[in-house]
Structure 1
Amino acid sequence: MISLVRPWTGADVRAMREARRMSIREFAAHLGVHERLVSKWEAGGTRVTPRPVNQAALDTSLARLDAAERIRFTGSVAPEAIGEAHDTDVVVQPAYIRHPGDGKLVTWIPEGVFLSGPQDQPEWLAGFYIDTYPVSNTDYSRFVSATGHRPPQHWPDHRPPPEIADHPVVWVSHDDAEAYAHWAGKQLPTSLQWEKAARGTGGATWPWGNQPTPAKCNCRGSGPGTTTPVDRYKSGASPYGVYDLCGNVWEWLATETTPDRYELKGSAFTSPFDRAQPAAFNDASRTMRDNDTGFRCTTLIMPEKR
């Protein structure tokens, strides 16, 4: 999987169109813009930078190149502009927006096929938004205040201590996580959704690539032995720019394994590094609460602001 390090220019647009062997009209229809706009970009060359919404469309097109198209594209663009998302810290340029339900940043994961599981089996998923970070104590406190839901047991006086406000919430059961998701107008991720957000499309072993690098996440032996702020491990972000998908806390999923048991992914500060592989399996009873288990949410359609 390749990614553009810097913003797109008109010269990159031409390289992408030619790599796809499309006419200006075909490429404009592919991006969902007017053909005059594509012509304007290409005429401006490196002096022109498309608007952010069109940058995102170009990122999506780039992610969907087949092998032959990737070779043609990388041969036309300056090498310093291209990064291997699965072998370096470069990620696909993410587009973050705020969800109107709970105000959290979410990231768009585009539809398409990705390689899933230990055997890298191809799976197709519709596009979806996923929380950029796990649900923090601050996020969960807004839910508790709004609904009167039971607060986690480690909060004194039913409020999170300031020193862990930006840490992921823990001591929450699957039922608690589902209640928050319902309140926010979201859902818990399926196992496949969570794995795609973590691995990208090409079957990388870890969110950051194929190199086992424990320092990129909060697991036993590499972290401080407790939870950490949800945005601390920036170099461990996934190809889509989603954080904390390895380590810190296990995350509840919507996928039921047997009656009343649900999958968990991501490992935690209490678990060894090898358990953090996004393709690895774990599950637990829906009533389980622990000091190393939290969650994040997804949504397919962005609702109107409340």
Structure 2
Amino acid sequence: MTVVVRWTGLEVLALRKALRKTGRDFAAEVGVSHRMLTKWETRGEQITPRAGNQAALDTLLATAGLEAQERFAAAVTERAAAVQDARAEELLRREPRYTKSPVDGKLMVTVDEGIYLSGPKNTPAWTEAYLIDVYPVTNADYARFVRATGHRVPQHWPDGRCPDSLCDHPVVWVTWHDAAAYAKWAGKSLPTSRQWEKAARGSKGRTYPWGDEPTAAKCNVLDSGMGRTTPVFRYQSGVSPYGVFDLCGNTWEWCADETQPGRHELKGSAFTSPFTRAAPSLVNDADATMFDNDTGFRCVGAGP
């Protein structure tokens, strides 16, 4: 079920429409006047109901039928996607480093060639220029791949269909082979661990994408208390020096490198991981056939 972290007038309106209630009926269920409800819906994102009213809204959402919950989730997701698309288009206009991948349509950013500080000991290492996905591959991205190729769907999609409430969350329950198949379809590849780490830490060896301060609130890890994946653009303050999101937390990400035959590196930690595992310099690996609810991926492409 979709959980609302902070109710505003926009979510209130979305819930009323999802429940298919008139303004007066909905206001009565929340326990406010129709005039107050009108004020919330008119002011939209600029207004936040009081704590008691938010609790009442939480209850209404939790006790709504499944179809109403799905309508609410779809409305919230569509709005978030529209905001993301608008931001992407603005970045494309303003920043020459950004581009859109021609096959999967994902926003990518250029990481320049040069030396960066790698690993726990900050060892100098070189990379050629490359492009990397700004966001991890989402369920919506993966659904397009499935439709185009007939590839098997992840096990958390009910009836083989991507849930509306998870469209902007990173896809999970994918093996390394699934991730590599998506990358091949998209005309890209999985990142090497060096490419992934440089995109996360920048050229000067930041401990975390945002700097050197160990701030768990800047990513979706176990300490954050979310308990599940979150939209890939949620943690704005955790962005890397190159403008790449979710490189700490949310999901582990498959890399191209083999640590031994049949095992590949994972980077970044997940919502199931303690913050102590979040530093991009740390190494994890898994069997290529492993799939779990906290493992996803992103892709890279040839540099400009």
- Under a length normalisation based on structure 1, what TM-score does the superposition of the two structures give? 0.68
Change (3 A) 1:223 1:237: farther
Structure number having the greater helix percentage: 2
- 1:143 counterpart (138, 145, 162): 145
Structure 1 letter corresponding to 2:224? S
* Partner in structure 2 of residue 115 of structure 1: 117
In 2: Cα distance, 1:140 partner to 1:243 partner: 18
1:101 aligns with 2:103: yes
Q: Which runs of structure 2 are paired with 1:154-169 in the superposition (5 Å)? A: 154-169=156-171
- 2:250 counterpart (244, 248, 251): 248
In 2: Cα distance, 1:250 partner to 1:301 partner: 24
SS of 1:107's equivalent in the other structure is strand
In 1: Cα distance, 2:294 partner to 2:149 partner: 24
* Partner in structure 1 of residue 23 of structure 2: none
Report Cα offsets for 1:205-249 as digits up to 9, x if no partner: 000000000000000021411000000000000001100000000
Report Cα offsets for 1:76-98 as digits up to 9, x if no partner: xxxxxxxxxxxxxxxxxx83211
Q: Which runs of structure 2 are paired with 1:209-248 in the superposition (5 Å)? A: 209-248=211-250
* Partner in structure 2 of residue 262 of structure 1: 264
Larger CA deviation: 219-228 vs 262-271: 219-228
Structure 2 letter corresponding to 1:122? P
- Under a length normalisation based on structure 2, what TM-score does the superposition of the two structures give? 0.68
In 2: Cα distance, 1:163 partner to 1:98 partner: 24
In 1: Cα distance, 2:232 partner to 2:135 partner: 6
- Structure 1 segments, 4+ long, off by >2 Å, are none
* Partner in structure 2 of residue 278 of structure 1: 280
What CA RMSD, in Å, does the superposition of the two structures yield over aligned residues?
1.7
* Partner in structure 2 of residue 300 of structure 1: 302
Aligned partners of 2:239 and 2:246 also within 8 Å = yes
Give the CA deviation at 1:301. 4.7
Q: Which runs of structure 2 are paired with 1:123-134 in the superposition (5 Å)? A: 123-134=125-136
Aligned residues: 214
Percent identity (aligned)? 63
Aligned partners of 1:141 and 1:160 also within 8 Å = yes
SS of 1:192's equivalent in the other structure is helix
In 2: Cα distance, 1:118 partner to 1:221 partner: 22
* Partner in structure 1 of residue 208 of structure 2: 206
Give the CA deviation at 1:104. 0.3
* Partner in structure 2 of residue 186 of structure 1: 188
In 1: Cα distance, 2:165 partner to 2:225 partner: 17
Structure 2 letter corresponding to 1:204? R
Structure 2 letter corresponding to 1:274? T
In 2: Cα distance, 1:131 partner to 1:185 partner: 13
Structure 2 letter corresponding to 1:219? V
Change (3 A) 1:214 1:281: same
Q: Which runs of structure 2 are paired with 1:3-18 in the superposition (5 Å)? A: none
